[in-house]
Amino acid sequence: MGLSTSAFESLIIASVGDMFFVHQRGIRVAFITFILNAASSLASIICGQITNSLGWIWLFHFLQIFTVIQFILMFLFCPETTYIRDAAYDIDQIQDENFEKLAEKEHRHETVDEISRTNTSTSAPVPKKKTFVQELALYTGIYTNDNVIKMLLGPFVTLLNIGAGWSCICSGLLCAWYVTSGITQAGIFAAPPWNYNASQIGYLSVGPFVGGAIGSILIAATSDPAAKWLTNLNKGT
């Protein structure tokens, strides 16, 4: 479950990177972080009520119900976001950013004349947006010609990067912390002298939920303005 959940969570962040500019990602990542981390405390509160009222077996019944609903919503409303774009725009992956060439390309797009409108321009035409039905296709084409072995080893090689390794360690410690704390507090407060029932143990997660909500709001309100401010200090880069 940990492996599959980690892959799922990483795809969410990658999708945000695919669809939004740097100065637009802060509020969205903050919302995702709130759902993945702080909202897990809300789940403890709800689960405590369910266990106390209907019995623990109903936790698994509700899990199955919402898993099926989630699968249907994913299939219908989470289309493929990978897009094959001009290599000049891959400024987050290449060492030589070559902003002059990118600016020239953008200028050509802004000053399109009759010659370019007759498809004699060297710029590739922008493909039409897919319809809702087309986005439901199970196969949408080839997005890379890399060797399969290379793609399988890629995530492990990425961990050799200091930034990627640090991110994995921080994320792993965070997950371990709130999962372990939830399990530990159930073992502590269900025993004497507290003798809390399932519902009361669930209420112990109100604090982390409220704190996570406040933290997420602060980050959502400051991340994007900070990115814009730092970009201005760095002369637009």
The mean pLDDT value of the chain amounts to 82
What is the domain range of residue 60?
Answer: 2-86+124-233
Higher pLDDT, 52 or 104: 52
Instruction: Kindly give, in sequence order, each residue whose CB lies less than 8 Å from that of residue 46, ignoring residues fewer than 6 positions away.
Output: 202
Q: For residue 142, is it within any domain?
A: yes
> Helix count (H) and strand count (E) of the chain?
11, 0
Tens of pLDDT along 166-209? 877 777 777 777 778 878 888 899 999 999 999 999 999 899 88
Q: For residue 198, is it within any domain?
A: yes
**% helix, strand, coil for the chain, step of 5:** 70, 0, 30
Q: For residue 119, is it within any domain?
A: no
Q: For residue 144, is it within any domain?
A: yes
Q: For residue 93, is it within any domain?
A: no
Mean pLDDT value of segment 135-161: 87
Distance CA 206, CA 200 (A): 11
CB 208 within 8 A of CB 41: yes
Q: For residue 146, is it within any domain?
A: yes
What is the number of structural domains in the chain? 1
Half-sphere exposure of 227 (CA within 13 A, CB side): 12
Mean pLDDT value of segment 74-89: 80
Tens of pLDDT along 214-233? 999 999 999 999 999 999 99
- What is the per-residue pLDDT for 184? 87
Q: For residue 189, is it within any domain?
A: yes
Q: For residue 100, is it within any domain?
A: no
- What is the per-residue pLDDT for 93? 59
User: How wide is the angle at C-alpha 206 spanned by C-alphas 180 and 209, nearest 5°?
Assistant: 75
